[in-house]
Amino acid sequence: MITPEPDVERAAGIITRGLAAVIDLFVVLLIMGALYGGLVLVRLVYSPTAFSLPSLNAVFSTVVTFVIAVLYLTGCWTVSGSTAGAATMGLRVVGRRSQRVRLLVGLLRSICCVLFPVGLLWVVLDRQRRSLQDIVFRTRVIYLRGAR
């Protein structure tokens, strides 16, 4: 059996990337819950006698969730290359030359990932284990060195 060289960056597969995406979804939901809890506390502090829970608007909640998810993914990918899910699974998003993803690329990639998460399934069909977003934005998701 041939083992890969230790310096070769291995592309992450669908299972690892899928688990990382699920962890990231929970992180975004946790952030949303914290924002809602903060809103409740602010309303309680400013009008304790007339307090009621804020009503949820589906359109507003969807837009806020979209914005939070895009900001979370963009920030993580451009600063460190890893979201909480990616770090847990030992992954990093890199550009063409294994460098950190630039801000514009990270922003556009995150918008596409949030709007079209099914693009991740292309990893199963692609020989180089790239999602549709990886192909379009010339990025790769690799295992961190030393991770197996």
Q: Using 50, 70 and 90 to split pLDDT, how confident is the model at 25?
A: very high
Distance CA 58, CA 67 (A): 14
Mean pLDDT value across residues 34-49: 90
Q: Which two tokens stand for residue 59?
A: 């359109």
pLDDT tens sequence across 75-116 = 999 999 999 999 999 999 999 888 899 999 999 999 999 999
Amino acid at the residue 144: L
User: Out of 39-43, 53-57, 139-143, which region has the weakest mean confidence (pLDDT)?
Assistant: 53-57
Distance CA 58, CA 70 (A): 18
